[in-house]
Structures are given as structure tokens and as C-alpha cells.
A and B are shown apart, each in its own frame.
Chain A
Amino acid sequence: MKKVIVGNHAVSWGVQLARAEVISAYPITPQTQIVEELSEMCADGRLPARFIKVESEHSAMAACIGASVAGVRTFTATSSQGLLLMHEMLHYAAGGRLPVVMADINRAVAPGWNIWTDQNDSLSQRDTGWIQLYCENNQEVLDTTVQSFKLAEAVDLPVMLVLDAFYLSHTSEPVDIPDQADVDTFLPKREARLKLDVNDPRAFGALSPPDMYMELRLRQQEAMEQALEVFDAVEAEWGERFGRRYGAIEPYRTEDAEIVLVTSGTVTSTARYVVDERRARGEKVGLVKIKMFRPFPTARLRRALAGIPRVAVLDRNLSPGRSGIFAEELRAALYDLEPARRPGLDGYVIGLGGRDVTPDTIGECLDRSRAALAAGRAPEREDLWVGVKP
């Protein structure tokens, strides 16, 4: 069934299809529509889940954690300041190896007060131990929502599904909604392998002294590493059933490319358009979309980018005092390539706080990288700001 729905509702429909059992959330723009719709689904019986109203995002995540330890499928959604308030609990969900699924609508962080999109909210949760998946369109949002539960529950790690404020959250697109029966086969009821049991009480989150703590972290790291392959398997099964796959990363027209854009989120769609346009003019450009930010698909990115003369990373985010965060991650990922195959890398900071990223913005990035490549110049800075007022 196709429906024209906004990205937020694509999340809600995905959660309904996944038959989440406990939903706890606190409203925040631009996420609110997600849980608003879910609360209605819970109220009118379409989704027989327990909807827990709470007084803060911290509590929302705490409620999800509690329910998840008890063995049920849980979901929440948030944005920006709300996500930041959850920070402590994000570590707890990941360290507790709880397959909580959360949608984060990328919204710039205050101050200055701003409800528009950029990625600093989710990226500043980089080290909390959550799998992060960035989406490009509403269909991908719905598909990824359902897949996230399967992925999370397979590796016992929480998944953060990320989409751009307004460009996805509030933009309507036709979305194919799979049949419930098919989704039920794809995603059966959660079977927690370790959960609270009043008949055999154990301490969850127990004291872990120095002779244990490292091993627990190692197991978490191994699960993260495994998540990439599991994601492939999940996508493969989804693809078989529903005919759509996205990939942890997606190279686009990178064959023989001299310059490759690296993108995430909705900027990717604009970049595809620019690549097509430039290719039509005979320019050898391509792009690599990064969907999975954690675990970081290092090996795949190395393979995709090795030997490319110049890489232009488009970061809708900023690590102040350094550069765009994707650029930073990529520099580290590509460092081990032998120098001859290691691309030059330009890190562009664009579109912060919802500033429009137009084909011209991306064109300017490409032009600057091409000029640098032609001149054999290293980037003059790690952060190249494009689209700022003089």
C-alpha cells in the first residue's frame, strides 16, 4: 500500500509495523508528530503497546531501558536538546546491551535557538555506543525503522535512526507500506536472551570491578563490529521480501571518478543531482553516501575511496576547534591507506542550523576541490566553510 506521508509518520508507521510493545517519549519539535501519531495508534488500538508519558527525555529513555530489560520491544523519539538530555541514559542503554530503537530528528543545538536541521545533536552522541543510521528519504525512513529493531535485537545494541528536520520530518513523499503479515515474518516478537525474572533475580547493571569491566567493553565492541554484517543480512532479507536495499554505504557513479563527494542525510539527494549534472558535462565526479555512522564502516569506505584523487566531505555539522565530523572520521579511516592510494580530502562545513544546501553550494565545494586537485594543493584548512555570508 502506498501512502503519501511525512517522514515523521514514516517512523510511526514503521514502529507500528514492528509492533513495539513499550513506547515512552517526551515531545520536542520537530519530532513530536512521531509520538503523537503513535499515541493515537496506541489509544485507538491499532498498536497494542503501552505508551508511557514522562516528564523528560531522560525519563523517556529510562522507561525504555526498564522495559527493555524486562524483555519487550521499545521505542522512543527525540531531537536536539531532548537527545542531549538523554545522554546519560544513552550510555546506559548501550552498556546494558539493550536493543532500544530511537528516532532522532536532526535539529541544530541551542544556543542560538534553532529548530532547523543539522547533525550536531546525533553526532555528539557518537561515543555512547549506539548504532547510528542516517536516512535520505521517507521510504528509507520507514524501511530502516523496521530493520532497526531486527538489527538491534540481533546484536543487543541500541539503534538510533536519524533523519533531517523538516527536509524529511515534515516533507510528504509517497511511501510503500509493507503488509503487516510480511513484516511479522521478517520481525517476530522479541525474544530477549537475558531479562528480568522475578523467579531468578539477578542484578542488571551489576558492579563490574576492574577485572571484568574491560571484557564487558570488549564484548560491546565486538557486537558493534558484528553489527555491520548483521545489518547486511537484515538488509538482504528485507531486500528479498520488499525489493529495497540501501547499504551501510552507497557509492554512486564513483567509477573512474576524480572527485568523490561524501554525504549523509538529505544532502545526498541534492548531491546526486549535482553529480548527474556534472557527469553530463563530462566531469568525473561521484559520491559515497554514508548511512551507517556507527559502527563506522571503515574497511568499506577505504575500499570505496582508495585511489580516488580527491574526496570532498560535506558535513552538516561541526566539531568546534576541529572540523566537520564525517571529514575527521574519514581522515582517520583513510590514514592507513598507502600514500599513493590515499585521497586528498577537503572537509566542507555547510548547511548548519538548517541553512539551505543548494546544488550551487555543492557545486562550489566540487569546484574548489577540483581547483585544489589541479594545482596539487593540500587543503588550506581542515574546515572549509561554504555558504557563509562574507
Chain B
Amino acid sequence: MPDDRPIAGPARGVSPAAASTTPGGRPVAGTVQGAPRAAVQATPVERPIADTVHGVPPVAVSTTTTLVNRTGSWKYIRPVYQDKVAPCNQGCPVGIDIEGYMNLLREGRTQEAIELLLRENPLPAVTGRVCYHPCEDGCNRRGFDDAVAIHAVERVLGDLALASPLPPPAPRTWPETVAVVGSGPAGLACAYHLARLGYGVTVYESELEPGGVLRYGIPEYRLPKQVLARELERIRALGVSFRCGVQVGGELPWSALAEHHAVFLATGVHRSRPLGVPGEELPGVRAGLDLLSEVNHGLRPELGRCVVVVGGGNTAMDCARTAVRLGAEVTVLYRRSRAEMPANEEEVFEALREGVHFEFLAAPVEVMGEERRPEEEALEAIRASFDEEDARRSALRLAGLRCTRMALGEPDASGRRRPVPIPGSEFLVPADTVLCAVGEEADADALPEGLPRDGGAVAVDALGSTGLPTFFAGGDLVDQPHTVAYAIGSGKRAALGIDRWLRIRAGELGDGTDLAELRYGPAGNVSMTRWRGDDPVQRVAPLNEVVTPERINTDHFRHAERHADRQHPLEQALGGFDEVNQGLAPEEALAESRRCFNCGVCNACELCLIFCHDIAIRRRGDGRFEIDYEYCKGCGVCSAECPRGAMAMTREGL
């Protein structure tokens, strides 16, 4: 305190005696900035308090450093930093380190976030649009306010990746080459990862352009062709070659692939299951997949005014929304109730928004053709012979679909309640076109002989091996949900499986792979980063355990509204095949990344350091923390306060 302050002198001391012995402004030993703590710790020095009066300091403060009291000996449990797995990572069928890229994005390290994403997912701009984001189902933020809009963030990062320069060709590390049959999401994923692992890859595609279901199945209003084209450019840039317009097992026999050291089969499922009712052979009854393919090829078929879509899955929704865009009034017929619908909730919502009518608990009984007078038919036949357009129109002449009401009975093998027809409840739904979307199956004839089967699906092990030498399989061919994300995930697993198999065969690798260690959590997909062993994210004592909501300390988070995707206005959406979902702006994605709890992974928030009563936690040079167990009393506050479950209390060793 400066001497010119009138009360400085006497005021600083407590009694007149103190004032005379302690001149104002003289620093007191207790506040002298000492050497760094480590030095003090080595030789605890007794530094008495200078203004001792009556033999005591002004307050009840220890006259010596408390470092002599090694309180660490008190503890019987000790805190440790222990990174875990975020539920989103486990929930992602692709096996993306979602938590990791959220954290990088939050820190403003956008390019690194994109790279982390691209380590696992070759098609982020695609999945950001079309994946039904099971990752968000497990989001621990759900119980706090609302799940992080992971899909929207992925889309933004995916689009940023598309705007980035193309990668250089992947260095060719190994002599082997791999054939990938089918260029849908599974094939593309397998090709991408194999190329990055250092293999030569050729993709065979029977259509004229690659993409499979991404190009010919998913409607343009959900996935613009341009986005797919740019994703494909990146895969091509890695050195993957494409041979399109070639039907393997058709004009090109399977034996032609013998030049390759492994084959990945990902030809998908194309054959629509039949309705199984009389009249389904009538013109005007069509496979939903065929319609989607036609429209994706740029055709705009005439469907008539009334369209009935039979089925309740995502293909049914795609068909219904496509038919709406072709000008039809659409009814979806589903034999169970809305709760049992396998279609994604958002798709159903969009279909409803676009005016699709739903008949739940209703099943087709018979497709009714229109009875026409003979002279009318003759006239039409003459017309048709002159005019193809008229011929197509005449084929539409259905009267409708005779249906029956259903009731839900006992649960079936799938656990869903089996629909049972209600006798005498039949009714007629008028229809010019009936679109059949009750499921698809693989075309067994097109696959190599001798593949082991599991029901209709190709049987594979966890890493995609069919057991038939050199043959691996994935995508919709194998028994897993028919979604883009699962397809990509299976392609990645197979790439990993092929790499492992080839390296074992070359005698460069033992076969002791612990698959559990490669998974994100016990139930998650494998991580290519873990397989490669080059995780750019520093992890401390990682435990492959998923962080449960109870491990999140929500006291340290503020409620923040989830950013909803921006949707095209309805009239604009229905005017054509423009993309309906406009996603988020980059700054909104950044805000979403700030909503992420970063479950299970230390993001250096410092709360442990702030809450430690014993100042026994220190920040290390690398930005992480260390605990001084000489002084940590094992109180557990750090671990309890950790907002994200990245710490744990362990038993103190004896």
C-alpha cells in the first residue's frame, strides 16, 4: 500500500505495536512468489509469516508450507484419467469417431475434423444427407434437451470436404489387387479403404455410371447427383479404377476376376418381392425399385392420378414421395400400424407433409383391372400401335386395389405383432398404378456358385469373409439393415478383413486380431484408425466402454436448442426433384459441435483442475492434465465433476 495513503501505516498493522514492527507495504512471507512448486516440494522450507504479533500470524494460517503434509497417503481410491467411448461412436454403423470430429470442429480445427471423418467414412456428404443417424438415438444430450444434430454437422463437414482439393493418389504399399463388384455404398467404401491401405482396386459396375443405390435408388430430392459425383471424384483420385457397364457373372464371367487377389461382392438387392395377390401381373402394377431407377435415369413416367404404394419401409416412402412429384395422389397401404412402420420417422413425416395419405392396418387382396368394352379395347390397341405414349397410358387401366382391414395379433418372429385380416372388412382403393415396395431380395443367379447362404443373404463373418476363398461380401447382400450407413460399414469391415487376410496369407501378420479392440464400444463398428494404429486424437488409458447418461455431469452444461435442418418450402419441394433438406450453415454446425458433451474424452475443460481442493492437478505441456498423487486425497471431486465421464476412481494399490 503506498505511503501517501493517509491510513497506510497504522492500518496495515493490527495493533500499534504491530504497526511499528511491520512497515506498511512490506510484503509478508506468505505471499512471496516462491519458486515453482516442484522445487518447493523437493525441500519444504519453513517461511514464517512476517507480521507475527503475540507469536501468531494475523490469521489462522499455517506458518510453514503445507507441502510437508503429503496428504496423498490418506487416500484409498485414486482418480485416473480414462477416456471412454461416446455412445454416438458406438451407434454409428459406419464406425466414425463422431465425438472426435465434434471436438476438433469445436476447437476451430475444421480441416482436422474433416480428415478424422474421412478416415472412417468415404462418403460424408452422402451419409450427412441420407443416413437415418442411429448415432443420434444414443446421444447423451437427449435426456438433457435434444440430441446433437450429428447428421447435419456431418453434412456440413462432408460438403466442406467436397470443396477441398482432391487428395493425391494413395501410395501403393502392397502388390495385391482387389476386385470390388458393385459400386453402391458398400463397394465404394471397401474400394476407398483398400486404396488408402495401399492396394490396387478395380470396381466393376453393371450400370453405365457408378453409385448403385446412391445413383439409381435414392431419389434426387434426397441426394443430388452432383453431390455423389463429387464424392466419386475423391475416390477416383485415390487411384481406384472403375469399369462400368460390365455385368460380372454375365458377359464377364467370375473367372475373369481371378487376376485379383480378393473379391468383394456388393451387388445389392434388386428383385422386388411380389405382392402375392391375384392381378399383380396386370399392367399398372410395378416394382417400386424400378420406378425409382427409372426416375433416377431421368425419365418421368406417367402414373395416372391415383397411386397406391404397398409397403411401409423407406423404399415405400421414396416411391410415395417420388409419385407425388410426378403429380399423383398417393396412398400408402401398410398392414401394420404406424408404430410398426420400418420407415424412418423423418421420411414418414416428410411424406405426410407432402400430402401422402396413409392407410394403416390394411393389406391388398386383389388388384382389380378395369372392365372395358371390347370395342374400347380394340380401339386402344389400334392407337397403341401408332403411339407409344398412348400404349403406356392404356397400360394404366387399373380399377383399383381391393384391400382388407387388418388387426394386430400375436407377435411374430420379428417381435412385431402379426397382422391378421378382419373378415368382411374389404374395401376398394382406386388406383391407376400400384407400386410394390414390400421388400427386395438378392438375385441369387447373379452370384458366384458355392457362396454360403444364410436364408436369402450371403453368410459372412465379422470382417466380411464368405469362407469361400478370396470372396468377401457386404452391403444389402448380407444380413444387416438395408441402409447406406450399414452398407458403408460393411464395406469398411471387409476392407479391413481383406487387408488382414492378404497380410496373413503373405506371412506378414499373425492371425491374432482382437476384433473387440477395433470396435467403438462393445457393439460398435470397427475403426479403421484403430486398425491402422495411427489415431491423431490423444487418448489417455482408453477403455472401450460406452459412456452412459449417468456419467455425464449436466450441471456444467447449458441448455441449447438443437439446430433443425432447413427445409425447402412445400410448394418448392413439390415442384420437382430439388433437394428438400437444405441442412445447416457452417456456423450452425459449429454451434452444434459446441452442444456436444464430448462424452468420455477429455477435452481439457479444466474443471478437474478448478475443483481440486488440493491443487493436486496440473496442466501438462501437452494440454492434458496430471494428478499429483503425493497430495491427491482421493476425494473424488474431480471425477464427480468431470462433465463427460473421462475420469474414474480406482482402488488404491496396497
User: Do chains A and B interact in one complex?
Assistant: yes
Contacts of B615 in A (CB 8 A): 198, 201
Given A200-B47, A215-B56, A219-B53, the answer on whether A233 and B11 have CB atoms closer than 8 Å is yes
- Bound complex: CA of A216 vs CA of B30, how far in Å? 17
Chain A residues, CB < 8 A from B58: 97, 156, 193-194, 219
Residue among B5, B7, B37 with the highest chain A CB neighbour number at 10 A: B7
Contact with B along A126-157 (1 / 0, CB 8 A): 00000000000000000000000010001110
In Å, the complex CA distance between A208 and B62 comes to 9
Whether the pair A199, B62 counts as a contact (CB closer than 8 A) is no
Checking B6, B63, B67 against A233 with a beta-carbon cut-off of 8 angstroms, the contacting residue is: B6
Note all chain A residues with C-beta closer than 8 A to B35.
199
Partner of B60, one of A154, A200, A206, A230: A206
Task: Tell me, yes or no, whether A197 is within 8 Å of chain B by CB.
Answer: yes
Binds B, one of A73-81, A221-229, A282-290, A291-299: A221-229
* B59 adjacent to A97 (CB under 8 Å): yes
Is there a chain A Cβ closer than 8 Å to B468's Cβ? no
Interface string of B466-497 (1 = CB under 8 A from A): 00000000000000000000000000000000
The A-contacting residues of B in range 29-78, CB under 8 angstroms, are: 30-37, 40, 47, 49, 51, 53-67
Size category of the A interface is 35 or more
B30 contacts A236, C-beta separation under 8 Å: no
From known contacts A154-B11, A193-B31, infer whether A198 and B37 are also in contact, taking CB-CB under 8 Å: yes
Proximity string of chain A (183-220) to chain B, C-beta cutoff 8 Å, 1 when within and 0 when not: 00000100111110111111111111000100110110
A96 within 8 A of B: yes
Interface presence of A234 (CB below 8 A): yes
Chain B residue contacts of A207, Cβ below 8 A: 60
**CB-nearest residue of chain A relative to B49?**
A194
| A194 engages B14 (CB within 8 Å) | no
Q: Contact at A194–B61, with CB atoms within 8 Å? A: yes
Q: Residue A36 at the B interface, CB < 8 A? A: no
CB distance from B62 to the nearest CB of A (A): 4
User: Once bound together, how far apart are the Cα atoms of A236 and B32, in whole Å?
Assistant: 33
Residue B12 CB within 8 A of the other chain: yes
Residue of B nearest to A207 (CB): B60
Structural contact, A204 and B31, CB atoms closer than 8 A: no
Q: In the complex, which residues of chain B have a beta carbon less than 8 angstroms from the beta carbon of A226? A: 10-11, 14-15
Residues of A within 8 Å of B28, CB to CB, are: 193-194
| Contact among A150, A156, A202, A212 with B65 in the assembled complex (CB-CB below 8 Å) | A202
Cβ < 8 Å to B, chain A residues 25-53: none
Q: Known: A194-B30, A219-B54. Contact between A199 and B37, CB under 8 A? A: yes
**A206 touches which one: B2, B27, B61 (CB < 8 A)?**
B61
Taking the closest CB of chain B, its distance from the CB of A379, in whole angstroms, is: 39
Cα A194 to Cα B5 in complex, Å, equals 20
- A363 within 8 Å of B (CB atoms): no
Nearest CB to that of B19 among chain A residues? A226
Given A198-B615, A237-B7, A191:B49 Cβ within 8 A: no
Contact between chains at A216 and B7 (CB < 8 Å): no
Is A307 an interface residue when CB atoms closer than 8 A count as contact? no
Name the distance in Å between A164's Cβ and chain B's nearest Cβ: 29
Closest A residue to B50 by CB, please name it: A193
Most interface-central of B1, B40, B59 (chain A CB within 10 A): B59
Given the complex of chains A and B, what is the CA–CA distance between A216 and B64 in angstroms? Answer: 17
CB–CB A201/B54 < 8 A: no
Does B6 contact A200, Cβ atoms closer than 8 Å? no
* B60 close to A216 (CB less than 8 A): yes
A359 within 8 A of B: no
Any B CB within 8 A of the CB of A95: yes
How far is B66's CA from A222's CA once the two chains are assembled, in angstroms? 28
Nearest-CB residue, chain A, relative to B51: A193
Q: How far is the CB of A94 from chain B (nearest CB, A)?
A: 10
Bound CA span A233–B64, Å: 35
Q: Which residue of A lies closest to B53 (CB)?
A: A219
Secondary structure at the B interface, as helix, strand, loop or mixed, is: loop
Contact string, A363-387, partner B, CB cutoff 8 A, digits 1/0?
0000000000000000000000000
Rounded to whole angstroms, the CA-CA distance of A103 and B15 in the bound complex is 27
Q: What distance in Å separates the Cβ of B360 from its nearest Cβ neighbour in chain A? A: 50
Residue of A with least CB distance to B33:
A199
A211 → chain B closest CB, angstroms: 9
Given A191-B1, A199-B34, A201-B615, answer yes or no on A155-B47 (Cβ-Cβ < 8 Å).
no
- Interface residue count for B (Cβ, 8 Å)? 41
- A223: chain B residues at CB < 8 Å are 14-15
Find out whether the CB atom of B6 lies under 8 angstroms from the CB atom of A236.
yes
Nearest residue, chain A, Cβ from B26: A193
Among B12, B33, B40, B58, the one with the most A-chain Cβ atoms within 10 Å of its Cβ is B58
Shortest A214–chain B CB gap in Å is 9
Contact between chains at A200 and B14 (CB < 8 Å):
no
Residues of chain B within 8 A (CB-CB) of A200 are 30-34, 40, 47, 65
Which residues of B, 592-613, contact A by the 8 Å Cβ criterion? none
* Closest residue on chain B to residue A223 by CB atoms: B14
Assuming the A-B contacts A200-B47, A204-B61, are A155 and B31 also in contact, with contact meaning beta carbons closer than 8 angstroms in the complex?
Answer: no
Q: What is the CB-to-nearest-CB distance from B532 to chain A, in angstroms, rounded to a whole number?
A: 42
Q: Which residues of B contact A95 (CB under 8 A)?
A: 59-60
CA distance A236 to B328 in the complex (A): 91
Question: Within the assembled complex, what's the spacing in Å between the Cα atoms of A356 and B51?
Answer: 50
Minimal Cβ-Cβ distance residue in A for B35: A199
Q: Which residue of chain B has the shortest Cβ distance to A219 in the bound complex?
A: B14
Beta-carbon contacts under 8 Å, B12-26 to A: 12, 14-15, 18
Contact partner of B54 (CB less than 8 A), chosen from A188, A192, A215, is A215
Closest to B17 in A: A222
With A197-B30, A200-B65: A154-B56 Cβ-Cβ less than 8 Å: no
Q: Which residues of A contact B61 (CB under 8 A)?
A: 194, 202-206
Least distance between B555 CB and chain A CB atoms (Å): 11
Q: Which residues of B contact A154 (CB under 8 A)?
A: 7, 11-12
Do B14 and A155 touch across chains, with their CB atoms under 8 A apart?
yes
Determine how close the nearest CB of chain B comes to the CB of A88; give it in whole angstroms. Answer: 16
Q: Contact check, A199 vs B36: say whether CB atoms are below 8 A apart.
A: yes
Known: A96-B60, A201-B65. A230 touches B11 (CB 8 A): yes
**A208, B60: Cα distance in complex, Å:** 7
- B612-645 Cβ-contact flags toward A at 8 Å (1 or 0): 0001000000000000000000000000000000
Name the A residues within 8 Å of B51 (CB-CB). 193
Given that A194-B28, A197-B33, A200-B47 are known contacts, is A155 also in contact with B60, CB under 8 Å in the complex? no
Q: Which of A84-109 contact B (CB under 8 A)?
A: 95-97
- Measured between beta carbons, the chain B residues less than 8 angstroms from A97 are 58-59
Q: Residue-by-residue, is B63-99 near A (CB-CB < 8 Å gives 1, otherwise 0)? A: 1111100000000000000000000000000000000
Smallest beta-carbon distance B563→chain A, Å = 25
Contact B31 A192 (CB under 8 A): yes
Please measure, in the bound complex, the distance between the C-alpha atom of A226 and the C-alpha atom of B67, giving whole angstroms: 35
Residues of B within 8 A of A203 (CB): 61-62, 66
Q: Are A202 and B33 neighbours in the complex by a CB distance under 8 Å? A: no
How distant is B543 from chain A, measured CB to nearest CB, in Å? 31
The reply to whether A193 and B53 contact each other, CB–CB distance below 8 Å, is no
Determine the distance from Cα of A237 to Cα of B5 in the docked complex, in whole angstroms.
9
Alpha-carbon gap, A202 to B37, bound state (A): 12
Task: For B45, give the chain A residue with the smallest CB separation.
Answer: A200
Which chain A positions have C-beta within 8 A of B54?
215, 218-219
- Which residues of A come within 8 Å of B, CB atoms? 95-97, 150, 154-156, 188, 191-195, 197-208, 212, 215-216, 218-219, 222-223, 226, 229-230, 233-234, 236-237
Chain B positions within 8 Å of A, measured between CB atoms, are: 1-2, 5-7, 10-12, 14-15, 18, 27-28, 30-37, 40, 47, 49, 51, 53-67, 615
Q: List 7 A-B contacts (CB under 8 A).
A: A195-B30, A197-B34, A199-B40, A206-B60, A206-B61, A223-B14, A226-B11
Q: Which 7 A-B pairs have the closest CB atoms?
A: A154-B11, A215-B54, A203-B62, A233-B7, A222-B15, A215-B56, A200-B34
Beyond contacts A202-B66, A212-B60: 20 other A-B pairs, Cβ-Cβ < 8 A, are A95-B60, A96-B59, A96-B60, A97-B58, A155-B14, A156-B59, A188-B5, A193-B28, A194-B31, A194-B58, A194-B61, A198-B37, A200-B32, A202-B64, A205-B61, A206-B61, A215-B55, A223-B14, A226-B15, A230-B10
